[in-house]
Amino acid sequence: MATTAQRCKTCGRAMVKIPRSQYEMCPVCRTASVFNNRIKRPLFTRVGQYVNGVLNQDDLQGRPQIPAPSHQVVTSLTAYADRSQNFLRPHLAAGLPKAKFYQQSSSVHGKKRAVLCGVTYKNHKKKLEASVYNVKSMHQILVNKLGFPNASIRILTEEETDHSRIPTKRNIEEALHWLVQGCQSGDSLMFYYAGHGTQVRDVNGDEIDGYDEALCPVDYKEAGKILDDDINATIVAPLPHGVTLHSVIDTCFSGTLLDLPFLCKINQDGFYMWEEHQLTNKGTNGGRAICISACADDQNSADTSAFTGNAIGALTFSFIQAMETESNLTYGRLLSSMRKKVFQAQQVVGRLAPFASSKSQEPQLSCSTRFELYSEPVIF
């Protein structure tokens, strides 16, 4: 392909001329145009429609009348998309029509991606001052330490100017769908949540203690809570082979918030056993899900200023500290280190926050499979 002097009006990159055709394309965002003549929308959507024979006169109303690409150009563009990002095969394997593949291709994300959600509940009597700071702290370690690209991290807080990034129930649910959409073997996913959690009466009989755990989005009074059943169905059950999901949940009543089959029971000496913790099978589709939560299902979590002088979630700080300071970290050492940090904070300030109970907060680890806790390295 020969590079032209024309720049893409979407991202500013140099457009690339497709040999033996009247089209040129941006190699980054794949916006296309007729050579020296702008198309009003990405050509890949249009090519997908031509391939499937669904482009009609309604699609052309108000747009330049551009002749359909030749079979050779369609083949060239399709090969380019498949070669650059390998998007086509998983979408076709999932049974999606080709046209839908082309419409979605520009938003498919990379190998590492994350959803970070922090809810402060402004003007609420139980406002959480630390939630936004928690998210910013997690964002820094994901980018600077764990290699997550900025573009693959979706942040939801009440400080966001984009209304789709406010942590409402609908926006959180859409972000979770985005997190797992199109994931493939080798992908590493992260879901982080800081905010209020609660328990509600279990109505489908799958909870040992008779209660579902739930997240409280900013609009929970109007829209309702997000139950562990729904979180499991959205980001756990679909995980294909080779995909790993980590969830770090800094909220009360969060021990089994992802409804994973196995909960690690560990004592102060580090001895542990895996406890089966559900009445129905809620595994993955071959992938692996690991949840690191702030406390057991009957405990409260807390924010504290004991660590830095600024309020931060006790779990969030202890997780970040372990990830930054420990070398050759295993899940056993991670869990032990977090519990030690939280215990130290409790000894310094007693009850960590006004909303915490006097019962000790003990970080928990649950998983979709059993594994050897002290030999399994922590890899994101």
Q: What is the pLDDT of residues 252-289, one digit of tens each?
A: 999 999 999 999 999 888 899 999 887 777 889 999 99
DSSP conformation letters of 282-343: ---BB-EEEEEESS-TT----EESTTTSS-EEHHHHHHHHHHHH-SS-BHHHHHHHHHHHHH
Give the pLDDT band of residue 40 (cuts 50, 70, 90): very low
pLDDT of amino acid 277: 80
Closest CA to 158 of 190, 114, 133, 121: 121
pLDDT digit string (tens) for 162-208? 999 999 999 999 999 999 999 999 999 999 999 999 999 998 888 88
Catalytic residue among 8, 183, 252, 295: 252
Check if 196 is active-site.
yes
Q: What percent of the chain has pLDDT over 70?
A: 68
Q: Is the pLDDT of residue 18 over 80?
A: no
Distance, in Å, from the CA atom of 180 to the CA atom of 314, rounded to the nearest integer, reads 28
Tokens of 242: 């080779």
CA geometry: angle at 312 spanning 309 and 315, to 5°?
125
Catalytic residue among 196, 216, 277, 291: 196
Q: Is the pLDDT of residue 358 over 80?
A: no
Distance, in Å, from the CA atom of 306 to the CA atom of 322, rounded to the nearest integer, reads 17
Sequence-distant (6+) residues with CB within 8 A of 31 are 8, 9, 10, 11, 25, 39, 42, 43
Tokens of 271: 């001895």
Check if 252 is active-site.
yes
What does the mean pLDDT of the chain come to? 78
pLDDT of amino acid 22: 59
pLDDT of amino acid 44: 40
Evaluate whether 48 touches 39 at the Cβ level (below 8 Å).
no
DSSP 3-state percent helix, strand, coil across the chain (nearest 5): 30, 20, 45
- Domains of the chain by start residue, with CATH: 2-107 (no CATH), 112-367 (3.40.50.12660)
pLDDT digit string (tens) for 319-353? 999 999 988 999 999 999 999 988 887 776 554 55
pTM for the full predicted model: 0.70
Name the β-bridge partners of 246: 190, 290
pLDDT digit string (tens) for 276-285? 887 777 889 9
